[in-house]
Amino acid sequence: MATKPTDYLSNMTNFGPEPPAELESRIRRKLERQHFMHLIGADLTRIEPGRIEATLALGEQHQQQRGFAHGGLVATMADLAAGFAAITLVPEGVGVVTADLRVSYLHPGVGTQLKAIGWVLKAGRRLHFCEAEVWCDEVLIAKASATMAVQTA
């Protein structure tokens, strides 16, 4: 019997582990509809259950007035990684949206590439609690905490 989105909300154990190829295919399909992500030039580079990595080649269009990666871009990368990490743990037909995002900026983003790593701390029926780090080249520039609300179709 197929698992319906409402079954997921009443009993998370109905959604078992997905084979890696199927998970990646499902996430890549969702990625096609992420127009803002494509606009800024970000891409997912690693997809695992509960964990995502995304990268972005920094260009002049990503800088604020002092030449650093714009804080909004850094927050976007953290949100992207945390959100897609949460999506890996919900079945087809169920989505997530950001309910809360807190970003702490540790260093200015000066370099050639941003890398965001997001993971799920706790997956719940209605909320997923996630964290993310954003790196610029080899420097940790931001840490984020995110709450993702689970939404059925």
CATH for 105: 3.10.129.10
Strand (E) or helix (H) holding 111: none
- Average pLDDT, 10 consecutive residues per value, the chain (153 residues): 38 59 89 89 95 96 95 97 96 93 98 98 97 98 98 78
CA distance 127 to 147: 7
Position 103: which residue type? V
pLDDT value of residue 9: 38
- Owning domain of residue 87: 5-152
- pLDDT of 86 reads 97
Task: State the pLDDT at residue 15.
Answer: 52
Residue 33: predicted pLDDT = 85
Give the model's pLDDT for residue 109: 96
Contact 114, 136 (CB under 8 A): yes
User: What is the total count of domains within the chain?
Assistant: 1
Q: What angle in degrees, to the nearest 10, is found between the helix axes of 71-87 and 20-31?
A: 140
Q: How many CB atoms lie within 10 A of CB 9?
A: 16
